[in-house]
Chain A
Amino acid sequence: MNVSTLRKPAAALPLQQGGASEPLVAVRRGENTGQREWSRKAQRWLRIISPFILLALWEAASRLGMLDARFFPPPSEIIFAARDGILNGSLISATVTSLRRLALGYAVGAAGGVVVGLWLGLSPWFRAAVEPWLQLTYPVPKLTLFPLLVLLVGFGETPIVILLAIAVFYIVAINTTAGVLSIRPVILDVGRDCGASFFQSFRTIALPAALPHIFTSLEIALGIGFIVLVAVEFIGAKTGLGAIIWSSWQTFDVAPMYVAIFMVSLCGYASALLLKSAGSLMMPWRKTN
């Protein structure tokens, strides 16, 4: 707040207060000067062009030799690599392979996590029986299970999908349980009051009441899912975006690596958007305020 805009000389009127000789000044407030709207617009434009400025700086620095072009090729070169990858199909097939693994593992893990999480939250017996070992195994970095999974089921798609499912399951189950446990007791009392069975409370109260927690955990699990996916593809797969990233350093051909990294980010961004709109579709009561 700038004093000069508040105390406009033009708006100042000399006033006389009963008997006092000192003149008063009327200070005007709340007048719309259009300044706020202008800065809001400018900020919106800045948001759009900011990444392009960064890319332009990168391009210039790489071409002028300020960046080592072997490790930081100019963006234009990366775009050519992306075009090649799309035209010869290698980029598309790697993306499809990766996304299929993630979608399968994510769906299994999320569904299991929601059901187990709701059950844990609603049933003290189940909680007493299952929660201890869930909490004990939760801190285990899930990637460390990959060699064991390979021993159990062999190489291929299966251990990757199982590992993703496990990683997603823990996050969703634990957060869903927390969601159910945070339901106000009176809400569960209403279920009892209306004669709801355990399964009816499960479906008509615990599930919708925990949906905000569930969707938050699904978003977190999505991010973790991409990390696990790429990490496993580094070592455990010959196909997929992670495999492209890992193999390109061995051939000192870094452009495809950047393309694959960008593709992973793009998929992550798009799927997070998808998840968000699925969330607002399933929770129409939350956007009405």
Chain B
Amino acid sequence: MLRNSAKIAVQALSKSFRLGDGSVVEALREIDLNIAEGEFVTLIGASGCGKTTLLRIIGGFEQADKGFIEINAATNGGNLLTSTVFQEESVFPWLDVQSNVEYGLRIRNVPVEQRNAISSHFVEKVGLSAFRNAYPAQLSGGMRQRVSVARAFANNPEVLLMDEPFGALDEQTRIILQQELLRLWMEHRRTVVFVTHSLDEAITLSDRIVVLSARPGRVRDIIEVDIPRPRTVSELRNHPRYAGLYTKLWNLIEADVKGSHSGKAAA
């Protein structure tokens, strides 16, 4: 059935949006992309390049106009194909931390003991054991985002989708959460597609960085991050490969970023 051996195969995917004033914005054009099993891939590009749209199509939230995505699913089934960590705050204010983490398990009728064991494990992994019975309103923004990460991992999906999950956090919290994500991912290895607009975050986390061009989004280049794991987030900038990768990425998106800023006035 599958056309190649990749975990996720994006095939000639195009997507446009109709805006309120009737104009049409082409978000993605003819995207072809293969993502391997267990790979950590980051989508990066100027604002509005369609990276979130691509992620949402992979997550099943939106449909493409042309082309499609194939996910190489395990045949035993039962688990979710994908689970998403959203940029926006997405924990349920009416559930406490533990209930938020095990929400997906409850939806799939996982028996209570098993559900508790899994959610306790991931609540502990993100350092929220002391807050397992707290409501989101009692937590900081960083803690709430930890809950979202724990919920996605507890869902045990084949592919983890992360849409700028740390974008709204302050830098210090972001560094901590990046480190926790790397540790969690090393322990529970799976395919990750991660959207960010931070060059630093892309280098820090990924195996490969997919650089999308500005509207319409197309794959401009794919950069391998040849920095060995495990990585220490706070020290990665000192790695001899870091500066070179950073410059290379910036050169790839610089024109788009400048273009989107001058174009904003017109739009």
- A residues at B contact (CB < 8 Å): 184, 186-187, 189-196, 200, 204-205, 208-209, 211, 283-285, 288-289
Contact = CB atoms under 8 A, between A and B. Distances in A.
20 contacts: A186-B89, A189-B61, A189-B90, A190-B103, A193-B82, A193-B104, A194-B83, A194-B108, A195-B104, A200-B107, A204-B107, A205-B92, A209-B94, A211-B94, A285-B93, A285-B136, A285-B137, A288-B138, A289-B137, A289-B138
A279 B147 CA distance: 26
Contacts, number: 65
B259 interface: no
B138 A208 contact: no
B135 A285 contact: yes
A191 B61 CA distance: 11
B83 A193 contact: yes
A190 B144 CA distance: 14
B60 A194 contact: no
B94 A194 contact: no
B59 A190 contact: no
A289 B93 CA distance: 12
B137 A189 contact: no
B92 A195 contact: no
A11 B96 CA distance: 51
A184 B93 CA distance: 12
B135 A194 contact: no
A196 B107 CA distance: 6
A189 B90 CA distance: 9
A192 B155 CA distance: 13
A148 B108 CA distance: 49
Contacts of B89: 186
- Counting from the closest, the 10 A-B pairs by CB-CB distance are A194-B104, A208-B94, A285-B135, A186-B88, A186-B90, A193-B84, A194-B107, A196-B107, A289-B137, A186-B86
B25 interface: no
B80 interface: yes
Contact of A195 (B96, B107, B137, B138): B107
Interface string B45-73: 00000000000000111000000000000
Contacts of B94: 208-209, 211, 283, 285
Interface string B129-140: 000000111100
A99 to B, nearest CB: 31
Contact of B108 (A190, A195, A289): A195
A195 B157 CA distance: 11
Given A190-B103, A195-B80, 12 more contacts: A186-B90, A189-B86, A191-B107, A192-B60, A192-B61, A193-B83, A193-B155, A194-B80, A204-B106, A209-B92, A288-B135, A289-B137
Given A186-B86, A288-B138, A289-B138, A193 B92 contact: no
A233 to B, nearest CB: 39
Nearest to B106: A204
A217 B61 CA distance: 32
A285 B93 CA distance: 7
Interface in B248-267: none
Q: Which of the listed residues A194, A204, A285, A288 has the most CB atoms from chain B within 10 Å of its own CB?
A: A194
Nearest to B109: A200
Nearest to B137: A289
Nearest to B81: A195
Interface hub of A184, A195, A200, A284 (most chain B Cβ within 10 A): A195
